[in-house]
Structure 1
Amino acid sequence: MGEEFRQQFREMHVLCDDGRYRGGHGFFDIAGSQAGFQFFLGFQRPYKNDPHRAGIGGCRTKAGQIVNGLQKVIADIAGQPGRMGSGVAENLVKTCIGEHCHGGILTRLQRRDFCIMHHLLSASKGKTMFEGPFKIRIWHLVMVMAILVPVHLRAEDSAVVLAYHRFGEDAYPGSSIRIDQFENHLAELRDGGFHVLPLKDIVDALDSGRPLPDKAVAITIDGARRSVSEEAVPRLVRYGFPFTVFVASDPVDFALETSMSWTDIASLPKKGGSIGLYPSSLEALGFVSPDEAAARINRSSARIAEMTGGAPALLAWPAGEASLAVQARVKTLGYKVAFGMQSGSVARGMDMLMLPRFSMTEKYGDIERFRISTRALPLLVSDMVPADMVLRENPPNIGFTVDGDMDVSRLACFVSGRGKAHVEVLGGTRVEVRLDAPLEDRRTRLNCTLPAGIDEAGLPRWRWLGAQYVLPQALLP
């Protein structure tokens, strides 16, 4: 392939639909990391109302065909190289760019990776990709795979935790999932290449450093309502999926009509389930004193141990709310892991007392959102403000520093009830989210996303950071 292909590699771009070059989500995104290369094919979803953010999402079907074809080509090269001619790489590049990917752009190569890539290409000294009887230099094979084939994204010690609440309870669409939606979710987990693991296994892996498989998922259910035992558990058993039910003791003790019984709860481990801990009531702890929060947790833990034979080690915050003071108090009780209700994937290095989960309800339970959520990767940050979810000012000053070597210019943030927020990037990694007016709701969620390529099925993946904030009554407008 020689100098001509090296020049193609340096200079090739793909024009967007309107003829402009843009720094959005390109067809290729080759980004470096401290651990080595990460090669991402980054497809974006089209923005229907913003012509200046058009992308290649509209040609994802054709792009997916290219991906499948390229995978076969590489397999063919590795197994039976005699079938391929010396012009295969050039032809594949020209085919992809000229025929199918006219709607996107080739994103930047970071300088470090470009230098390494250039060095590898230069090592060929102008020789063709295949030498002698079609022998392949190893770096040529690496180059073709890196540039043209969607390499599986590393799990990066992360997993997605799903949070359900009610099942088929149409009177509560804000917290219930329709049965047909739930069935679609389970089928997607079965057929979409996911690894559905017990929640404890994921937590143990994060704590011990043991690697997790890509697309690891845990299923959790909050509240132990009757629809859990009647609708969810039989389906989970049929699919063979492990799950965790976070139990609040008071509704069970009061024998509420909407609650599971202690007999139902005690039988969960025999059905592939495990029991997690909710405080004794379902009331959020955002504005509860640390001592009161501790008392509710202790009461629920004691009752669960009495009625089931064991005290849960994993905790979930009702409505995802817990001030820093409450978290600190609960830590003194010996709890090391707790789950909130902000969106995102769990990963090593996160605050283990406020791990994220994707909430699944009728409104947010369509299969498209489910596929996006279950394929999420972590967006690790540090120095996040406000540090406490219980706000002291309105509007809050929101900011964080993105860890790792990432192109933060492609980050987008959204505030519940407001849509896309204005974002300023300072110094390349510091992100400030600017709010132009006070928050109006007691509870507000922030979601920030960064494109992270596609999976083997051609579906987009995103790095995800979620945060939840609650306002004291005095700060509400």
Structure 2
Amino acid sequence: MIARKLWMSVTLGALLLVNHAARADLVVLQYHHISDATPPSTSTSVSLFQAQLDVISELGIDVVDLHDAAKNLLSNNPLKRQSVALTFDDAYESVYSEAADILQERSLPYTIFVDTKAVGNRGYMTWEQLQTLAERDGVSIANHSAGHGHMARKLGETEADWQQRITHSLDSAQAMLQEKLGTDLALFAYPYGEFDEALEAEVAERGWFGFGQQSGPIGPLSGKTRLPRFPMANAYGQLNGLKDKLASKAFPTDANALPDGIMASNPPTLTLPLAEEINPARLTCFASGMGRIDFKVLDDEISIKAPKPFNSRRFRYNCTHPAKGGSFYWLSQQWLDLSKPED
């Protein structure tokens, strides 16, 4: 937590001067496969992908370069308009065969997060295909680890062993991207969206932005090493909820007030400080697989806790609250149960 706080480039005092309802935030969309023939849980059909891009265009939302937009927004250089960035995890072949030409025809920038050990394997892009895309205007290639392993420290794993393991995965992948493609972007996407404070500190030490898989937009108070993205697979990317996601605003809570995410108890408790923009009567919170859940309002904070334990390795609390202009403040807190089996 300390490392993350030190790396925040703006102070909370200055940020309180920002009009949260009127500001423009960055929405990042996360894709895996763009295909009608790959696993449904991680796939977006070609027709749905096209329709999502149509909605973005119809709303007049700027599609921007991920690194530049995140750097500006988190360096107290506000975005002029609500913006969206497109990201693809794992470098699946369908991104090359299906999505790339669609995006080139529309002149849209995007970022591919690459598991360097998977390159050339069945279903993944080759280095030659990645090079072809890297040479196109607006295409960025970034680090998604070497091997796509679970990177939070495992139960029973010594600190020295963990340090050796993640240092190799982070740095060998970055070196390979530099060697093969000449790219050294300060971007990292956590495999499975899993992270803990120690891993965040490693990402911060390298000066990288770290992206998870918890939903929500990015605003000035977001943490640079736990940036949210909206999953866009078929189950989550349907058009009836897309407009709300694209227009959403980051919850007016300093990321440094959020917990690590490694559970101390099951179900975990999320405590949020009361903010001027938040009326508890209009707040709605959900838990993965449980639907809407209750919360308690204390003197100066909101306490959120699911009614029963979770059985999964990863789950989330999602909270929304109306903002001006018909948009919603949106916060997603990732939780990780290290006692559960890895994928």
TM class, shorter-length: 0.7 to 0.9
- 2:173 corresponds to which residue? 300
Partner of 1:261: 126
1:206 and 2:79 matched: no
Aligned counterpart, 2:28: 161
Residue 211 (structure 2) aligned to one of 333, 339, 345: 339
Residue 197 of structure 1: which of 64, 68, 72 is its match?
64
Q: Is residue 224 from structure 1 mapped to residue 91 from structure 2 by the alignment?
A: yes
The alpha carbon displacement at 1:210 in A equals 1.9
2:320 is aligned with 1:449: yes
Q: State the shift of 1:383 in Å.
A: 7.9
Equivalent residue number for residue 85 of structure 1: none
Under a length normalisation based on structure 2, what TM-score does the superposition of the two structures give? 0.87
Task: Give me the whole-angstrom Cα distance separating, in 2, the residues matched to 1:164 and 1:177.
Answer: 7
Q: Separation in 1 of the partners of 2:145 and 2:308?
A: 35
Name 1:116's counterpart in structure 2: none
SS in 1 for 2:184: coil
Residue 53 (structure 2) pairs with residue 182 (structure 1): no
Deviation of 1:377 (Å): 0.6
Give 2:223's match in structure 1, choosing from 334, 351, 355: 351
Is the Cα–Cα contact under 8 Å of residues 313 and 341 in structure 2 kept in the other structure?
A: no
CA distance in 2, matches of 1:217, 1:316: 17
Report the Cα distance in structure 1 between the residues aligned to 2:53 and 2:185, rounded to whole angstroms: 26
Equivalent pairs: percent with the same residue?
27
Aligned pairs for 1:386-397 (under 5 A) are 387-397=259-269
1:463 pairs with one of 310, 319, 329: 329
Report the equivalent of 2:339.
473
Unaligned runs of 5+ in 1: 1-32, 39-152, 455-459
Q: Within 2, Cα distance between the matches of 1:37 and 1:221?
A: 32
The counterpart of 1:328, out of the listed 176, 180, 201, is: 201
- Of structures 1 and 2, the one scoring higher in RCO (CA 8 A, sep 6+) is 2
Q: Is the 8 A contact 1:394 1:475 kept in 2?
A: no
- After superposition, residues 41-440 of structure 1 pair within 5 angstroms as 154-156=22-24, 158-252=25-119, 255-271=120-136, 272-288=138-154, 289-332=162-205, 334-382=206-254, 387-427=259-299, 429-440=300-311
CA gap 1:290/1:467 in 2 versus in 1, 3 angstroms: farther
> SS in structure 2 opposite 1:174?
helix
Structure 1 or 2, whichever has the larger Rg, is: 1
Cα gap change, 1:350 to 1:403, in 2 (>3 Å): farther
Q: Cα deviations across residues 168-197 of structure 1 (Å, max 9, x unaligned)?
A: 153411111011110001111111120111
Give 1:95's aligned residue: none
Taking the aligned partners of 2:298 and 2:225, their CA distance within structure 1 comes to 29
- 8 Å CA contact 1:159–1:347 kept in 2: the answer is yes
Cα deviation 1:414-444 (Å, max 9, x = unaligned): 00100011111222x5111132211121111
Partner of 2:5: none
Aligned residues of 2:213 and 2:228 also touching (Cα < 8 A): yes
Q: CA deviation at 1:384?
A: 7.2
Q: State the 1:310 CA deviation.
A: 2.4
In structure 2, distance between residues paired with 1:386 and 1:346:
15
Q: Alpha-carbon deviation of 1:283? A: 2.5
The structure-2 alpha-carbon separation of the partners of 1:165 and 1:402, relative to structure 1 and needing over 3 Å to count, comes to farther
The change in CA–CA distance for 1:291 and 1:351 in structure 2 (over 3 A counts) is: farther
1:386, CA displacement in angstroms?
Answer: 6.8
Report the CA distance between 1:268 and its aligned residue: 2.3
Does the Cα contact within 8 Å between 1:290 and 1:326 map onto a contact in 2? no
Contact 2:43 2:234 in 1 (8 A): yes
In structure 2, the CA distance between the partners of 1:207 and 1:396, relative to structure 1 (3 Å rule), is closer
Q: Distance in 1 between matches of 2:185 and 2:91?
A: 14
Cα shift readout 1:106-149 (whole Å, capped 9, x = no counterpart): xxxxxxxxxxxxxxxxxxxxxxxxxxxxxxxxxxxxxxxxxxxx
Change (3 A) 1:37 1:206: closer
- CA contact 2:203–2:225 (8 Å) conserved in 1: no
* 2: CA distance, partners of 1:378 / 1:168: 30
* Contact 2:74-2:224 within 8 A present in 1 as well: no
Cα distance, 1:234–1:36 mapped onto 2, change above 3 Å: closer
* Alpha-carbon distance in structure 1 between the residues aligned to 2:115 and 2:341: 30
Q: 1:270 to 1:402 in 2, by over 3 A?
A: farther
Tell me the distance in 2 between the aligned counterparts of 1:249 and 1:36: 40
Compute the RMSD of aligned alpha carbons. Answer: 2.3
Determine helix, strand or coil for the equivalent of 1:219.
strand
Separation of aligned partners in 2, 1:417 and 1:357? 19
Conserved 8 A contact 1:350-1:380: no
Checking the alignment, whether the CA contact within 8 Å between 1:243 and 1:273 is kept in structure 2 is yes
Amino acid paired to 2:191? P
Number of equivalences: 320
Asked whether the equivalents of residues 36 and 46 of structure 2 are also in contact (C-alpha less than 8 Å), the reply is no
Cα deviation, residue 209, structure 1: 2.0
Distance 2:303 2:341 in 1: 22
The Cα shift of 1:305 comes to 0.6
Change (3 A) 1:237 1:407: same
Alignment deviations for residues 313-354 of structure 1 (CA, whole Å, 9 cap, x no partner): 11110111011112223333x133110111111111221000
Cα shift readout 1:280-329 (whole Å, capped 9, x = no counterpart): 11233234524312210111111111001122211110111011112223
Any conservation in 1 of the 2:74–2:219 contact (CA below 8 Å)? no
Q: Once the 2 structures are TM-superposed, how far is the Cα of residue 385 of structure 1 from its aligned partner? A: 7.4
Segment of structure 1 superposing worse, 363-372 or 220-229: 363-372
TM-score for both structures, normalised by structure 1? 0.63
